């Protein structure tokens, strides 16, 4: 069993338990009727002056263990906004990544830029939760879903006015993303089944998108100015950066320095 398989097995159990809660039956309707207008996640990336960074709030990961002991999601989010992040990614998986849906709620209350719920989405219930918690976008991971599930969840998110970041790691996965009409595609340089990281993954897949109107996001393994410059040259419009910022004493200052020097 791979790490991804283990994560997905646990996630399905967590969602099943959540759907048994007394108020779970009302979540879908509440999401449909949510009065808060969503902010344009994709447009924020495309229209940002300078380098467009999706700055991530992440406490830990299965591959790297504890990343940041001094963890305050609200403080970090405010610092990211001050450093002119285009958007913020909030990890909401609790068991493997140390996050929570409450982190997303609390961040939404203090920032006015687009937020994405970063989790392993396997059920529309999680998308409804994301809408109610204040997300403007959700992540759908192609390697975690069957083709029909991917299409269904993509449609459901869009019905709630959420942008969808469709994550791929291979040519076959890119084909699946294109088949559902994805316009915002993230290339994860880390293979979630092996956790091997290779920036050449973005370069290889970006070559297939050069003459399209698809917005390409480079994800994982981005630690230096040279990494960003390399992936920007390959065709990436935005960059999801987490660990390298979260390991710094001041994540906001680290982001500011990254953007200033590019």
Cα torsion angle, 18, 22, 27, 28, sign: positive
β-pairing verdict for 163-168 and 184-188? parallel
CA dihedral 241, 3, 133, 127 (to 10 degrees): 110
47 is catalytic: no
Does residue 257 have an active-site annotation?
A: no
Cα(173)–Cα(175) distance, integer angstroms: 5
Based on the residue annotation, tell me whether 220 is a catalytic residue of this protein: yes
From the list 167, 169, 243, 244, the catalytic residue is 167
Q: Is 58 one of the catalytic residues?
A: yes
Rg of the chain in Å (alpha carbons): 17
Q: Is 219 a catalytic residue?
A: yes
User: Pairing mode, if any, of strands 65-66 and 60-61?
Assistant: antiparallel
* Active-site pick, 14, 84, 129, 219: 219
- Which of 11, 89, 118, 244 is catalytic? The answer is 118
Q: Which of 11, 14, 52, 58 is catalytic?
A: 58
Q: Exactly one of 11, 48, 56, 61 is catalytic; which is it?
A: 56
Q: Is 183 assigned a catalytic role?
A: no
Give the Cβ contact number of residue 262 at 10 Å. 13
Beta bridge partners of 94: none
The active-site residue out of 61, 124, 143, 188 is 188
Neighbouring CB atoms inside 10 A of 149's CB total 15
For the annotated catalytic residues, the residue numbers are: 56, 58, 118, 167, 188, 219-220
């Amino acid at each position: 069993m791979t790490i991804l398989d283990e994560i997905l097995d646990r996630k399905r159990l967590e969602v099943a338990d959540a759907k048994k809660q007394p108020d779970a039956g009302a979540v879908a309707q509440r999401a449909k009727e949510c009065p808060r207008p969503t902010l344009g996640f994709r447009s924020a990336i495309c229209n940002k002056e300078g380098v467009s960074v999706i700055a991530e709030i992440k406490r830990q990961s299965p591959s790297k263990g504890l990343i940041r002991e001094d963890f305050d999601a609200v403080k970090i989010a405010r610092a990211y906004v001050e450093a002119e992040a285009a958007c913020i990614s909030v990890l909401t998986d609790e068991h493997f990544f140390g996050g929570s849906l409450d982190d997303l709620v609390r961040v939404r209350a203090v920032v006015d830029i687009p937020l994405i719920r970063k989790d392993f989405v396997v059920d529309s219930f999680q998308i409804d939760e994301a809408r109610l918690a204040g997300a403007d976008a959700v992540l759908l991971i192609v390697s975690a879903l069957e083709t029909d599930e991917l299409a269904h969840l993509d449609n459901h998110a869009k019905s709630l006015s959420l942008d969808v970041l469709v994550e791929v790691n291979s040519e076959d996965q890119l084909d699946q993303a294109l088949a559902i009409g994805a316009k915002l595609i993230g290339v994860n340089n880390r293979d979630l089944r092996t956790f091997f990281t290779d920036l050449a993954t973005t370069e290889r897949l970006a070559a297939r998108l050069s003459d399209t109107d698809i917005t390409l996001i480079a994800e994982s393994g981005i630690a230096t100015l040279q990494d960003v410059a390399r992936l920007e040259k390959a065709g990436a419009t935005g960059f999801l950066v987490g660990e390298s910022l979260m390991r710094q004493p001041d994540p906001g200052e680290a982001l500011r320095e990254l953007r200033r020097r590019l």
